[in-house]
Amino acid sequence: MSDTVPSDPPAAAPAAAGKRAAKTSVKTAAKADAKGSAASPKTALQLALEKLGLRRDIDLALHLPLRYEDETRITRLRDAREGDLIQIEARVMDCEVAYRPRRQLVVKVDDGSDSCTLRFFNFYPSQQKALAVGTRIRARGEVKGGFLGWTMLHPSCKPARGDLPTALTPIYPTVAGLGQYYLRQAVLGGLARAELSDTFAPGDLMELNPHALWTLRQALQFLHHPTPDVSLATLQDHSHPAWQRLKAEELLAQQLSQLQSRRLRATLRAPQLVEVPGGTLHQRLLDALPFPLTAAQQRVGREIAADMARALPMHRLLQGDVGAGKTVVAALAAAVCIDAGWQCALMAPTEILAEQHFRKLIGWLEPLGICTAWLTGTQKTKQRRAMLEMVESGAAQLVVGTHAVIQEKVHFKNLALAIIDEQHRFGVAQRLALRNKLQHDAMEPHMLMMTATPIPRTLAMSYYADLDVSTLDELPPGRTAIVTKVVNETRRAEVVQRIRAQIALGRQIYWVCPLIEESEALDLSNATETHAELAAALQGSAADGQPPVQVGLLHSRLPADEKKAVMAAFVQGQMAVLVSTTVIEVGVDVPNASLMVIEHAERFGLSQLHQLRGRVGRGAAASACVLLYSVGETGRLSESARERLRAMAETSDGFEIARRDLEIRGPGEFLGARQSGDAMLRFANLATDTALLEWARQEAPRMLDHHAHLAEKHVQRWLGTRADYLKA
């Protein structure tokens, strides 16, 4: 029955109750909920609903339950079994506050077949009053047997009056101050008022799913109040036809929004950056590079150059594994832009990464006569003023920096190409601000976004469907394979010994810690302590007549000048060991570094571990990455931590790492701030709903071409203003 499409929407409640729910407004519910509150009734509930993002009727209708409780049946105590979660209807025989072994409310009830003791360790006087002797109640909870008979601990209780519900009771995600009763009323009201007419025919899904004949209203009615005979497994794993309908609608909305964004961009104009024939800066840079480009770099370079030669704004994502050579591709794109007489900006999320790019680009472009400006938030006023003048006058042909590049005081003369490295670490507003830096005949700059976290195919098909994607799928020659070892922290002394051996060979070592200071919440070794321990442990090598080992410390709270000094010493080989937090995750390039130790590796995300591992293996020496893990008080790793460490040990392929990360953690790891913290997919699962995603990709252009008004209605229903996030 549960998999059969109902001819009418499934009954959520008795008819009278349904009508009352439809008429119940947020104001009415608020007045009841906020009685006695210092805040106004309207404000109390509305603020709580807004915290959940429930502002429109459709938002309420799409606020689906976390789980369900079965209050449709009564179980006799004589039929109960140990550990059952049941609902009983019984009379209160005794109610008193006991003080041993601790203060608690003890209520004894009898349903005519047996008795049960209800215990509440946290209770209010009103509860004690509601459970007065002689009251008939319905109590729902887990029953436990014992010497004194059945017991329920903190069951949910209500007066035993009225008919039993005909559907499962929904339990919704909520916030403090918003009880389930009033949230249910608000949801029911929103569901009744929401405009839920179909924007596409259910038959469009027939080939994909023969059971997909549910209308949107039928699917939502059922999921808010499923009938008791439904398979709970199909509700929990979202395989029920009602869930399939919702996921198809959601994926279609996302695909439509992405397609709309792509088509809108096709109406905009951008500077045409065409390579100057004969003796171009681009060719001069190629000739000056001390290494040949890989076939992948050449192919991607051609794709980018072709984009920039058009009058349409480029919106391209350049993805490549750690060390694949994205920076040189960006430099070649910048050369085309500068040669055409325009300015180029490169923005990186951290000063260390920005400075790494600055040094590389200066080394490649300055000998060719290119003037480069440097902008960060830590610059001295005089230096910053000089840089701003260079940018505004156009003297600075290339501008490299952090988020300081997009501040209001930065005025470009003619920005035509904006390059954003590690784009997922920037928010939507920041990327839009960089796009708006070109104020020239209503044109927009070309955008090239780079990431060292390869994007799995399903993610590229969904969240990045509005982008053109270029992939560097080969590494430059000379990169060495990195051996990854997963080691228990109890073997820490062996790791220190390995460090001594590497130092003796003239190599350098990274040691990465997850925290800077002690934390009561997380019992983790911090960078400062580890630095002191390693400095003391490694001085033993001086006994053999060797010079003392220099151990540096780097973390985000160091003053900018100290950070630069520490990094400079490590890059120049004056420092053997660098103890650091994750500020060295990206952008640090020291070919002599051959060992990476990551402490408490179980605490890091998979892509972050892969990024950190990529800091070594950049030279000819054999390199290794040691993942030190701790099992903590539990004595074992969590399943997800075990999966992450296993993936790191089994593969160094960034694309395989990305695929596994998507399975373990979902899309958030890859998206970062792309959606400004707001998940664009609430119901669909990219790991399991690929067939639905393929259907949505094919359906979106057909719908936009032939039913544009329905497409717009569909996008607004599902995404509202969140669709704007996809434009950045």
Q: Phi/psi class of residue 329: alpha, beta or left (left: φ > 0; alpha: ψ in -120 to 50)?
A: alpha
Looking at the structure, do residues 618 and 566 belong to the same domain, yes or no? yes
- Using 50, 70 and 90 to split pLDDT, how confident is the model at 439? low
Same domain, 192 and 108: no
661 and 424 Cβ atoms separated by less than 8 Å: no
- Residues 341-355 have a mean pLDDT of 83
Q: Which residue has the tokens 């784009």?
A: 423
CA max distance for the chain = 99
164 against 13, higher pLDDT: 164
| Domain final residue, candidates 632, 651, 670 | 651
Nearby residues of 644 by Cβ (< 8 Å), 6 or more positions away:
602, 604, 605, 606, 609, 664
One-letter amino acid identity for 529?
E
Which contiguous run of DSSP H or E holds residue 564? Answer: helix 560-571
Boundary residue ending a domain (443, 472, 501): 472
User: Measured between alpha carbons, how far is residue 361 from residues 55, 350, 369 in Å?
Assistant: 48, 17, 12
CA dist 232 → 8, 212, 223, 350, 390 (Å): 22, 19, 11, 47, 65
Question: Which pLDDT score is estimated for 342?
Answer: 92
Q: Are residues 31 and 138 in the same domain?
A: no
pLDDT over 70, % of the chain: 81
* 437 confidence band (pLDDT: 50, 70, 90): low
Q: Is the pLDDT of residue 672 over 50?
A: no
pLDDT at position 543 over 80: no
Q: Is 691 within a domain? A: no
The first and second tokens of residue 467, run together, are 């982008």
Q: Domain residues for 307?
A: 281-472
d(CA 726, CA 717): 16
User: What pLDDT score was predicted for residue 202?
Assistant: 61
Average of pLDDT values for 77-98? 93
Q: Which of 728, 707, 705, 699 has the alpha carbon at shortest distance from 253?
A: 699
Give the number of residues written for the chain: 728
Q: Hey, CA dihedral for 295, 296, 300, 303, is it positive or negative?
A: positive
Q: Are residues 89 and 221 in the same domain?
A: no
Confidence of residue 359 (pLDDT cuts 50, 70, 90): confident
Q: Are 88 and 111 in contact (CB under 8 A)?
A: yes
Report pLDDT for 578: 92
Q: Are 425 and 319 contained in the same domain?
A: yes
How much is the pLDDT for 468?
85
Do the beta carbons of residue 106 and residue 117 sit within 8 Å? yes
Query: Do 131 and 187 belong to one domain?
Result: no
**Same domain? 356 vs 457:** yes
The amino acid that residue 164 corresponds to is L
Distance CA 570, CA 716 (A): 53
Give the mean pLDDT of 290-313: 92
Q: Residue 299 domain-assigned?
A: yes
Q: Same domain for 88 and 151?
A: yes
Query: How far is the C-alpha of 139 from the C-alpha of 155, rounded, in Å?
Result: 6
Encoding tokens for residue 288?
A: 């000056």
DSSP letter, residue 368: G
Examine the fold and report which residue of 438, 472, 506 is the final residue of a domain before the chain moves on: 472
* Domains of the chain: total: 4
Are both 532 and 622 inside the same structural domain?
yes
Q: How far apart are CA 426 and CA 468, in angstroms?
A: 19
Quote the CA–CA distance of 276 and 285 in Å, as a whole number: 14
Instruction: Give me the helices (H) in 366-478, please.
Output: 381-393, 428-435, 457-462
Nearest to 648 by CA among 623, 622, 613, 615: 613
Contact 335, 345 (CB under 8 A): no
Average pLDDT over residues 351-360: 78
pLDDT at 320: 83
- Which of 209-213, 563-567, 694-698 is modeled with the greatest confidence? 694-698
User: Does 154 lie in the same domain as 189?
Assistant: no
696 is a domain residue: no
Residues 593 and 494 both lie in one domain: yes
Q: What CATH number does residue 398 fall under?
A: 3.40.50.300
- pLDDT over threshold 50, residue 19: no
